[in-house]
Amino acid sequence: MRAVIQRVRDASVSAAGRVVGSIDRGLLVYVGVQDGDGERDVAYIGSKCAGARVFPDAEGRMNLALADLCGPQTERRGILAVSQFTLHGDMRRGRRPSYGAAAAPDAAESLYEALTGWWRAGGYLVETGVFGAHMEVAATNDGPVTLLVDSRKLF
């Protein structure tokens, strides 16, 4: 499982012309599920994203994680999770990406839902896109801060 984590001031995702998920300050997380991923991958990515110390403390150092920022869920601080199978695109040969490593849609959706459930069980506000739909994502990247996480530790 792979994730691209962006620290954002705000982010939203739209499908079929309407906003389906939005957050204020928090993390925009693009999630790609690989063939063979399972619950261990969900826990790894869930923990890495939620625990990423990417928010500034009082001295301006990136020492705070999302849990340190989240108050009442009415503050709209949390995670906007967007499924993105293209994170497993392989461009090593030719110009057209190969998506052979990406999980089949049914398996990927199940693990994507497990990941968002993992975060919700931890008390985080979680907004999502629409799995498998064409989506438009808008975000104000704060920093910018963008990180890559791979449960197989390939990078």
Residue 139 lies in a domain: yes
Residue 155 lies in a domain: no
Residue 96 lies in a domain: yes
Residue ranges of alpha helices (H) inside the chain are 39-51, 66-69, 105-121
Whose tokens are 């691209």? That residue is 4
Q: State the total domains in the chain.
A: 1
pLDDT at 133: 96
Active site residue 55: no
Active site residue 131: no
Active site residue 6: no
Catalytic residue among 6, 55, 85, 128: 85
**Which of left, alpha, beta for 141 (phi over 0: left; psi -120 to 50: alpha)?**
beta
Q: Which two tokens stand for residue 139?
A: 């975000």
How long, in residues, is the chain? 155
pLDDT at 75: 66
Residue 132 lies in a domain: yes
What domain range is 89 assigned to?
2-150
H or E element, residue 9:
strand 2-15
Catalytic residue among 6, 34, 55, 84: 84
The tens-digit pLDDT sequence of the chain (155 residues) is 999 999 999 999 999 999 999 999 999 999 999 999 999 999 999 999 999 999 999 999 999 999 888 755 556 789 999 999 999 999 999 999 999 999 999 999 999 999 999 999 999 999 999 999 999 999 999 999 999 999 999 88
In this structure, what CATH number is given to the domain that contains residue 121?
Answer: 3.50.80.10
